[in-house]
Amino acid sequence: MKSYRKELTVNTPTRRAYLNITHEVEKSLQESGIKEGLVLVNAMHITASVFINDDEPGLHSDFEKWLEKLAPEKPYSQYAHNGYEDNADAHLKRQIMGREVVVAVTNGKLDLGPWEQIFYGEFDGKRNKRILIKIIGE
């Protein structure tokens, strides 16, 4: 069995953002030479997420509204975690959206459904953060 590891670095200009990283994951898969196996993609920060869903702007707007209802950014005083950084809501949003995805690899391609895309969700941006891509297989 072979393994391949790559890190992506992202820095969003806004506090919250959704980035389609499917192309970067596909590129990493091609670099790996692995034809059958699994790809793990995870956010390496506790205020960011990796998830699979549709690349549709209305849906991304719905995520934003939904997450703000569940874990509103302000007032900062509503959270016990806030102190040095006012990012408690970002930790909660990450918990809701998840840390990682695992995708099967078949014949050198990601085994995604017809509308599925891989996204990085940023909830406390404006600084460098890392995404891990780990591929194992043959």
* Short-list 82, 60, 57, CA closest to 71: 82
* Short-list 50, 54, 53, 90, CA closest to 70: 90
Instruction: Kindly report the pTM of this predicted structure.
Output: 0.96
Compute the chain's Rg from CA coordinates.
Answer: 16
Q: Could you list the pLDDT tens digit for every one of the 138 residues in the chain?
A: 999 999 999 999 999 999 999 999 999 999 999 999 999 999 999 999 999 999 999 999 999 999 999 999 999 999 999 887 899 999 999 999 999 999 999 999 999 999 999 999 999 999 999 999 999 999
Using the CB atoms, write b or e for 4-16: b if 16+ within 10 Å.
Answer: bebebebebeeeb
22: containing domain: 2-137
**Tell me, what CATH number does 12's domain have?**
2.60.120.460
Instruction: Tally the domains of the chain.
Output: 1
Token pair listed for 119: 């996204």
